[in-house]
């Protein structure tokens, strides 16, 4: 077998790079170009491809033989065999069987009567004589359908070819037989469409040995007639007789060489003709591509190596069982944990701050000042229910007697009941803070994943301490509520007293904030007009008196302004298909809130946003809806209504107690809202911080063996080995890239040529240059060919006469006009 010597020169260089990148565990990224062979039927495309591989393996015959694209992947390997994608795992050692499988698979898809298909055949050829490369054998360009071919066969083949050659990394071999008209070459026209600059196109002239006597293609091969930027290369493939006679490719290459050296028209350019030269040209393109790719690869490797140098320096003298190393690592981990916990709770302005969401101390702050006040307001008494309870308490205290004065005991009984209800939201606040603290600890200990036992131990010790402090904090809060229940301080400076209890305090219940802005942000309106089936986001501005919404945050296009007087908030159940969380503003008197809507439904993406908006509405005096207990019988309701309507004295006493309870509960609620966060902060958060800074290390030493705690995880050991391997592989790859840069020679792209002959419209009248394979000039035909384009540096005769008389000299000036046959 004749190997491809040109490619073999590149194989060692590319293999060195491939080995280095294989050690890195990454793709080499050279992205070697594909080589697509384009031409008409029976132009010799498949023969050109076989010359690259050095083996006979492609179907042969007349007419359209290649009826499906063949994507041929050449892979450098020690052994030589072929493998089809549709027969994965089956190795074809006999290349005659590869040809038969190509024919059989083509017939399976396209039928046996010349049909075509764009479905490619993928064939891999493993050989020690090839470079990792992709070659594409495409169906020949045809215009007239035969057999089972569709009527639009030309358009289908055109689209099939364009799919491959339009890629920037595809090198186009435009194959044209020498015995046809080059000016009408469909291969060159297709190449011009996708490669107008001519950087990727090489003209290949085949069948030079089949030209008529007395004709040659010298001026085409010299790139004088119909020039291309990269010029033309002539090749002589084996004839069908040679193929049938099993002529070896090595012998065929020798015969090709002999042809060019022996032909008088090609003798002077024989070194630039033939399959070996075409291979060298393609190899040079591959070399240029590799050299162009190397700078980016070098930069990438250098950045990767610099990023690893610090850790590699630490690993160079690494001993896993060194006790001093374990002690040092443990102290560093604990110090890092202390720093991270402190920064997470107290906040930090460093670059490590979380810019994606609230975390740590910020979430706890929100619990203190938004969630906790909202939970307290949610449990506040319902006005109607409260008055009924006061009336029952007054009547039960008076008993059978008719009371002339408002009883103090009724006030105390109602107030104690309301104070007791403050325990639930206060303890819930503790639970929420504990969850946040545990999340902070978990995130801080994640950096200890290198030592999983130390991480688990530290997490367990800190969490156990937080749980212990949780119970003490709850006990303290329960004691705080008990303190308030133990003694009613009716002499408090903020308490209105019995003297002022008759005055209506409803008007002063809402703090006058003026019309200051409380909050701004986006929410979606769920139920307005045509949007009932969907939603739309608006920019909302909440003040102490109104809720306005605008088209966007520029606040220019105001859609509506809703007064907040008398409005309440209620929760809306989340829809089955909805991911948004919804709440509604409504009027308890069943009046329309906006136009025909009894309520205004607003939604946010998260429950946290909803809770935050609810807390903002509280500041504006919009309170949650109270759940009405409907278990009381009609007798109680009738008695209550009868009392308020039939006993004016009892009604005045209820109003007095009501105002007293409201005044005193404001004092208690203000105290609870102030002290509960302080208790949590002192007994739990600050104490946990002090424990981590002062006692955690001692607890870890006392709870387990240091050596077992500081054992590395298998993942960390593998990571260390991988880091060292990557570092050394990077160095080796950089060294090889340096060798490739100095060992390969790059050639510049040829300058552009005047190739407007390819831009001529198909339907424009013109006289085509003569076919290199046409009849001889003298004594055979009366047709006089037109002269070559005047843009050439020197005129040439299209058809060279046979050896003998010297060719007609040309002056280059004042060429005669073309003669048209009569």
Query: Residue 203 is inside which H or E element, if any?
Result: strand 201-206
Residues 6+ apart with CB under 8 A from 746: 287, 288, 291
Instruction: List beta partners, residue 127.
Output: 76
Give the whole-angstrom CA distance, residue 682 versus residue 685: 6
| Residue 769 scores a pLDDT above 50 | no
> Could you read off the pLDDT of 251-282 as tens digits, one per residue?
888 888 888 888 888 888 888 888 888 877 87
CB distance 308 to 302 below 8 Å? no
| Residue 814 scores a pLDDT above 50 | no
> Could you read off the pLDDT of 493-521 as tens digits, one per residue?
888 765 565 454 334 334 444 567 888 88
Give the whole-angstrom CA distance, residue 766 versus residue 171: 30
- The winner for highest mean pLDDT among 299-308, 644-653, 699-708 is 299-308
The tokens 């639930």 sit on which residue? 424
Q: Which of 464, 414, 456 lies closest to 438 in space, CA to CA?
A: 464
Query: Residue 584 is inside which H or E element, if any?
Result: strand 581-586
CB distance 410 to 479 below 8 Å? no
Give the max Cα distance, the chain.
Answer: 152
| Residue 357 scores a pLDDT above 80 | no
Residue 463, class by beta-carbon neighbours within 10 Å (0-12 exposed, 13-18 middle, 19+ buried)?
middle
pLDDT at 558: 87
pLDDT at 534: 57
Query: Residue 547 is inside which H or E element, if any?
Result: strand 546-550
Distances (CA, A) of 384 to 635, 643, 683: 16, 13, 39
Give the whole-angstrom CA distance, residue 305 versus residue 297: 12
Tell me the pLDDT band of 472, cut-offs 50, 70 and 90: very high
- Backbone angles phi and psi of 355, in degrees to 5: -105, 5
DSSP code of 149? -
> Is the CA virtual torsion 647, 649, 650, 656 positive or negative?
positive
CB distance 752 to 229 below 8 Å? yes
Task: Report the length, in residues, of the chain.
Answer: 822
- The three-point CA angle 639-641-646 to 5° equals 90
pLDDT at 347: 79
Of 54-58, 324-328, 350-354, 781-785, give the lowest mean pLDDT range: 781-785
> Could you read off the pLDDT of 634-685 as tens digits, one per residue?
444 444 443 444 466 677 777 777 778 888 888 998 999 999 999 999 999 9
Give the whole-angstrom CA distance, residue 286 versus residue 9: 12
Tell me the pLDDT band of 719, cut-offs 50, 70 and 90: confident
Of 349-358, 670-679, 726-735, 741-750, give the lowest mean pLDDT range: 741-750
Give the whole-angstrom CA distance, residue 621 versus residue 546: 11
Mean predicted lDDT score pLDDT of the chain: 76
Residue 460, class by beta-carbon neighbours within 10 Å (0-12 exposed, 13-18 middle, 19+ buried)?
middle
Tell me the pLDDT band of 784, cut-offs 50, 70 and 90: very low
């Amino acid at each position: 077998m004749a190997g491809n010597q040109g490619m073999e020169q590149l194989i060692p260089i590319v293999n060195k790079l491939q080995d280095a990148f294989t050690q890195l565990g990454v793709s080499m990224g050279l992205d070697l170009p594909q080589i697509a062979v384009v031409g008409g039927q029976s132009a010799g495309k498949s023969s050109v491809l076989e010359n690259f591989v050095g083996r006979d393996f492609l179907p042969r015959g007349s007419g359209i033989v290649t009826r499906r694209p063949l994507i041929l992947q050449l892979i450098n390997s020690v052994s030589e065999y072929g493998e089809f994608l549709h027969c994965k795992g089956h190795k074809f050692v006999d290349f005659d069987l590869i040809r038969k499988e190509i024919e059989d698979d083509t017939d399976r898809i396209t039928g046996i009567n010349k049909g075509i298909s764009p479905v490619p055949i993928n064939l891999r050829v493993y050989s020690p004589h090839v470079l990792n490369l992709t070659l594409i054998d495409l169906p020949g360009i045809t215009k007239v359908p035969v057999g089972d071919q569709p009527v639009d066969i030309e358009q289908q083949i055109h689209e099939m070819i364009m799919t491959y050659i339009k890629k920037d990394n595809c090198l186009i071999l435009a194959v044209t037989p020498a015995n046809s008209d080059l000016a009408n070459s469909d291969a060159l026209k297709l190449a011009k469409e996708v490669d107008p600059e001519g950087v990727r196109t090489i003209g290949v002239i085949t069948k030079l040995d089949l030209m008529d006597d007395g004709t040659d293609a010298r001026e085409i091969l010299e790139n004088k007639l119909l020039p291309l930027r990269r010029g033309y290369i002539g090749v002589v493939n084996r004839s069908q007789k040679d193929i049938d006679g099993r002529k070896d490719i090595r012998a065929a290459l020798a015969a090709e060489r002999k042809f060019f050296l022996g032909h008088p028209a090609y003798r002077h350019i024989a070194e630039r003709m033939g399959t070996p030269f075409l291979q060298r040209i393609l190899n040079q393109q591959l070399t240029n591509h590799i050299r162009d790719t190397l700078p980016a690869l070098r930069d990438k490797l250098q950045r990767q190596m610099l990023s690893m140098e610090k850790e590699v320096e630490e690993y160079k003298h690494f001993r896993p069982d060194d006790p001093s190393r374990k002690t040092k690592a443990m102290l560093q981990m604990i110090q890092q944990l202390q720093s991270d916990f402190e920064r997470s709770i107290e906040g930090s302005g460093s670059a490590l701050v979380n810019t994606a969401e609230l975390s740590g101390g910020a979430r706890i702050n929100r619990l203190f000042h938004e969630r906790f006040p909202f939970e307290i307001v949610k449990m506040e008494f319902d006005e109607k229910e409260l008055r009924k309870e006061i009336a029952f308490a007054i009547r039960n205290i008076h008993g059978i007697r008719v009371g002339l004065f408002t009883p103090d005991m009724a006030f105390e009984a109602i107030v104690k009941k309301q104070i007791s209800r403050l325990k639930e939201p206060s303890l819930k606040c503790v639970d929420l803070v504990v969850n946040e603290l545990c999340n902070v600890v978990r995130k801080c200990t994640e950096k200890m994943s290198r030592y999983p036992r130390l991480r688990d131990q530290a997490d367990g010790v800190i969490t156990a301490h937080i749980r212990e402090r949780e119970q003490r904090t709850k006990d303290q809060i329960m004691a705080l509520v008990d303190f308030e229940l133990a003694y009613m301080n009716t002499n408090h400076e903020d308490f209105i007293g019995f003297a002022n209890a008759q005055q209506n305090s409803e008007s002063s219940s809402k703090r006058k904030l003026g019309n200051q802005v409380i909050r701004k942000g986006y929410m979606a309106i769920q139920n307005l007009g045509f949007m009932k089936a969907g939603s739309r986001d608006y920019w909302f501005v909440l003040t102490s008196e109104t809720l306005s919404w605008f088209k966007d945050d520029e606040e220019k296009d105001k859609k509506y302004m809703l007064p907040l007087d008398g409005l309440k908030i209620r929760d809306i159940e989340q829809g089955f298909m909805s991911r948004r969380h919804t709440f509604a503003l409504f009027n308890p008197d069943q009046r329309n809130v906006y136009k025909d809507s009894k309520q205004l439904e607003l939604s946010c993406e998260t429950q946290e946003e909803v809770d935050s908006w609810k807390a903002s509405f509280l500041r504006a005096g919009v309170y949650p809806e109270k759940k009405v207990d409907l278990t009381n019988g009609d007798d109680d309701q009738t008695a209550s209504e009868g009392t308020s309507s039939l006993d004016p004295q009892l009604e005045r006493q209820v109003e007095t107690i009501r105002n007293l309870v409201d005044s005193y509960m404001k004092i208690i609620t203000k105290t609870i809202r102030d002290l509960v966060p302080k208790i949590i902060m002192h007994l739990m958060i600050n104490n946990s911080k002090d424990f981590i800074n002062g006692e955690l290390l001692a607890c870890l030493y006392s709870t387990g063996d240091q050596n077992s705690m500081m054992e590395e995880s298998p993942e960390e050991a593998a990571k260390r080995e991988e880091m060292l391997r990557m570092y050394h592989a990077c160095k080796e790859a950089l060294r090889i890239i340096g060798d490739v840069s100095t060992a390969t020679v790059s050639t510049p792209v040829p300058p552009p040529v005047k190739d407007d002959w390819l831009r001529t419209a198909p339907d424009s009248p013109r006289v085509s240059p003569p076919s290199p394979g046409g009849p001889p000039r003298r004594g055979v035909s009366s047709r006089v060919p037109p002269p070559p384009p005047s843009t050439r540096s020197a005129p040439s005769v299209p058809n060279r006469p046979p050896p003998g008389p010297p060719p007609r000299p040309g002056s280059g000036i004042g060429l005669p006009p073309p003669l048209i046959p009569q």
